[in-house]
Amino acid sequence: MDNEKIVGNNFKAGFVSIIGKPNVGKSTLINRYIGEKVSIVSSKPQTTRDRILVILTEENYQIIFIDTPGIHNPKHKLGERMVKEAERGMENSDVVVVLLDATTGIAEEDNMILKAVSRLNTKKILTINKIDTVNKKDELLSIVDRSKAICEFDEYIPISALTGENTDVLLECIVNMLPESPPYYPVDQLTDKTERFHVAEIIREKILLNTRDEIPHSIAVVIEDFNDEESPDRVNIRAVIYVERESQKKIIIGKQGSMLKKIGTEARLDIEKFLGRHVYLELWVKVYEKWRKNDYALRLFGYK
Ligand code: GDP
Ligand code: MG
């Protein structure tokens, strides 16, 4: 990160709401931008219901994506209350990106969203997603026309979040609309704040609590998989507990796995509280000899 860019007036930053009915492709789009990059997905214990922030920091800009609930939770119908919540999130945004689905056209829920967005004073972009599924340009144009009747947007961009088509154009458009501003979130502390980091810490804490002095601090917890692809209300987490010796592995697993089960249950309950979602937690124990003296392992475990 170039500090000159932040200190000078060359840095842009802002909040960007991603709005759309369930299954329109919001997560797919955000994941495309975030990819494997270090990012933070901050959702404090009690506020998960309010909003989820996903932060993308690049050389000269920082975008804070807001994924709004209700709209984001397919279990709920997009009722009046949901629209209110979504509006609150959108009001504090610099840019609002509305996603429509090229395959379904404009549905009742889309109408409500378009109406809500039309009342906002922010910059607005209409994206029609899933263009990989349609081959008639007329269909896209008719969606644009019908949405224009409800809400005027600053830009109209057809994309495919799945294939990546035109997503670079959308990103460029968003960045252009961002105000000049220093980053809202520290660019060099991102790794400390990931959900993964907290989850690993919770698991580590439960191990230390349950094993007391038998297990020294020479354990590391690595989150190998963390995803909510199957359902937005449930996160599947696979974590590996690394120890230095076979004897430590035995202690953590316990008689017929009883200790690992206890650690897993306690950790899961806390993680569910932290994430505000159901959690399926899978724990593995592996021996990695003398990892504390191994540079690669230290980096792998996030200590460097
Ligand atoms: P969300 O509920 O708005 O977050 O939607 P998701 O991102 O979870 O996507 C819902 C489904 O639509 C998933 O099966 C995605 O793979 C699919 N999807 C998302 N974007 C596209 C796209 O551009 N084209 C196609 N064909 N499918 C997509
Ligand atoms: Mg989603």
pLDDT, tens digit (0-9, with 9 covering 90-100), for 197-207: 778 888 988 89
pLDDT value at position 279?
A: 96
Query: Could you tell me the CA-to-CA distances from 215 to 112, 282, 290, 291, 295 in Å, in that order?
Result: 56, 20, 15, 15, 22
Q: Can you give the pLDDT at residue 198?
A: 78
What pLDDT shows up at residue 277?
A: 86
Alpha helices per DSSP H over the chain: 3-7, 26-34, 80-91, 108-118, 137-148, 167-177, 195-211, 246-253, 258-275, 295-300
Q: Which sign does the torsion angle of CA 84, 85, 86, 91 carry? A: positive
For the beta sheet containing 95-101, the strands, ordered from the edge strand earlier in sequence to the opposite edge, are: 41-42, 52-57, 61-67, 12-19, 95-101, 123-129, 155-158
Q: Which of 17, 19, 21, 23 has most ligand 1 atoms within 8 Å of CB, for mutation? A: 23
Compare 130 and 86 and report the one with higher pLDDT: 130
pLDDT of residue 190: 44
**Cα–Cα dist 287/294, whole Å:** 13
Q: Average per-residue pLDDT in the chain?
A: 81
Per-residue pLDDT for 117 more than 70?
A: yes
What are 14-35's pLDDT values in tens digits? 999 998 887 888 878 987 887 6
* The pLDDT of residue 76 is above 60: no
Q: Are 63 and 56 in contact (CB under 8 A)?
A: yes
C-alpha 159 – ligand 1 centre gap (Å):
12
Answer whether 0.75 is exceeded by the pTM.
no
The whole-number pLDDT of residue 43 equals 36
Nearest CA to ligand 1 atom 19: 25
Question: Which residue lies with its CA nearest to atom 20 of ligand 1?
Answer: 25
Is any atom of ligand 1 closer than 6 Å to the C-beta of 167?
no
Confidence of residue 192 (pLDDT cuts 50, 70, 90): very low
Q: How far apart are CA 78 and CA 69, in angstroms?
A: 10
User: 194 pLDDT band (50/70/90 cuts)?
Assistant: low
The Cα 101–Cα 21 span in angstroms is 9
Q: What's the 2 CA to ligand 2 centre distance in angstroms?
A: 32
For the CA of 20, the nearest atom of ligand 1: 3
